[in-house]
Structure 1
Amino acid sequence: MSRRICIYFSWSRPQEIAAPLHVLDNRYPNLFEFRRAIWPFYEHASDPAPYKQDISGFLDHVILSDFRAFEKVVVSQTGYPVSLIQREGDTPPVKELDDALLADVDTLIVVSLDHFRTSQTASEGEVECIRSFLRRENACLIVCPHHDVGDSEKLDDRVIQHRHHGDGLVPGQQRIGGFAKSLLDQLGFPIENQWGLSPGRDAVGGPAQLLFDDDAMKASGILAGVRTFNLHPHLPHLWVPPQLSTKVSVLARQPINTMAPPHPFVIAGHRDFNAFLHIGPGDERAGHVFVCDATLWSSVFSGMESLSTLWANVANFGTKAAAFTKESRAGGRKASKPPK
């Protein structure tokens, strides 16, 4: 049976668009700034009639447009279009997650590209709705925060972090993923998206090979055939609290770019970071929860062949998860190793 997939953008579009341009931190660039920074690669969007040059233009013609390739893969695999919903669009009301919205959804992807400053948090009703959703056999929830760059209040610390990832489009502080953090906290899995780390490259400049927990990866099936993710300039380490080590599996870790300038996480001895997590059925859950970066559904940061495999796996997840669901209920699974 083909699965129906929904992408839920948990941002407040009006608050993102209304960010004052004289404040550099914690906002997206407007489309004009974006075009200027990467000139001449986006000059097809220079006409202000079809392409608004403000922040709304960046959201529409850069972020949202980058998800179209994922939608095409899903349609080719399932025959169904992807449902795309924004939590708070240009006009009221706020579209909170509820039973009616999820009635025909098998896989829910929460893309948490909301800035912390907009205070997007999951309501009590939304959390109960998600708990009910996860009681369904082979339901799939994928929670996707993005980076937390420049969390320190010290300018010197922010400069060090910025030099590490080297992305001139990102200000000294850009904290993204508040809704994802809130939702995971209230579900009992206080996973945090930390830092904005530069991913490693292979010998020809593509994404470096991922590091896998083989047992966990085979069990869930979602990363079957996947070898790399992408080269977004700043990707989060998905920190798992020690008390969750037996409940959360780290399916894949991404090597850090050894040629990048120093970063506190690297100085502390880390050479890779948690990139894809899995929480299998248990307690009252018959479904699965995954946590990964929001840019894994975007098509512009290379690694497309491998990402397309991931997208196809997501589209067909129900059949791949069945074996693991039976095994998990019979006796649990081995915890994965923390990043080295």
Structure 2
Amino acid sequence: MRRLLRPAKAAASVAAGAAVLASLGEVAYADSIFSFRRQPAAPPPPPPPDAPAPAAASSGSSGFDPEELERGARALRQINGSRYAKLLFGLMQSQEETRLAEMAAEKVRHDIYWKVKEIEAKRKMGEEYRENLKQQSQIEAQRLRYEDELAKKRKQEEREAERRQDAELVRMQEIGALKREQARRATEQKILEQELQTLKERAKNDRETNKENAISNAKAKAHEAKLTEDYERRMLVELMNGEREKWLAAINTTFQHIEGGLRTLLTDRSKLVMGIGGVTALAAGVYTTRFVWRSYNFRCHKQ
């Protein structure tokens, strides 16, 4: 396939040389100095992609055009027969060198372009990496701040919960202490009421007992006083009955003495006055004795 392509390239070169040779006919001479005006070379086309290679292979494999080869051979004979053959070959060589230099420069520009693109891509990648790193740092900082805020909030909530628990515990303790105090007061009140009830019942029993004892004592004393009075009355009656005669004798003797005294008093004035005083004193003693006896009996009956 390469052998088929090489004659085609040679034919193309020969055709190009023939065109150059035709253009040389128009060269002008001035003052015996040869001046050659060179056409500017077209910029080299960009490197063809790898895809058209199969097409070239397919065109080569499809067959070779003999007319192009004949035209190339005819042009080569014309060039060889021309007096400008050497100049033409030099020109072609210089054009080839220029083309190769331009291709090398294009390759360098292409390499520089891709190097710049690569550097730009790396710079963009670096910027993107820095931006991503910055964003990651910001995200990490935000995450750390968020976690810190969450930790602070959690600690604050825990402290609030502990304060609420402590307050609830204190409140429950206060309620428990209040209930215990109320229970203690209720117990003390109940015990006090029981003691008061016991004291009341005891006082009532004591009053009833004292009343019964007083009644019993009063009855006993009244009975005793009555018995004593009866006994004294009997004794007095017996004494009076036993000593009636003595009393009568004494009374007779007394009246005899009184009669004698009266006679004496009637005859003697001073003795009369003394006798009246003695009788008065005797009467006062008798009445005093009766009053004392009645008062004693009244008190005994009252008790």
Which category of TM-score, normalised to the shorter sequence, fits these structures?
under 0.3
Larger relative CO (CA 8 A, sep 6+): 1 or 2? Answer: 1
Larger CA Rg, structure 1 vs 2: 2
Report the TM-score when normalising by structure 2: 0.13
User: Quick check: which one's strand share is greater?
Assistant: 1
- Larger helix proportion of the pair: 2
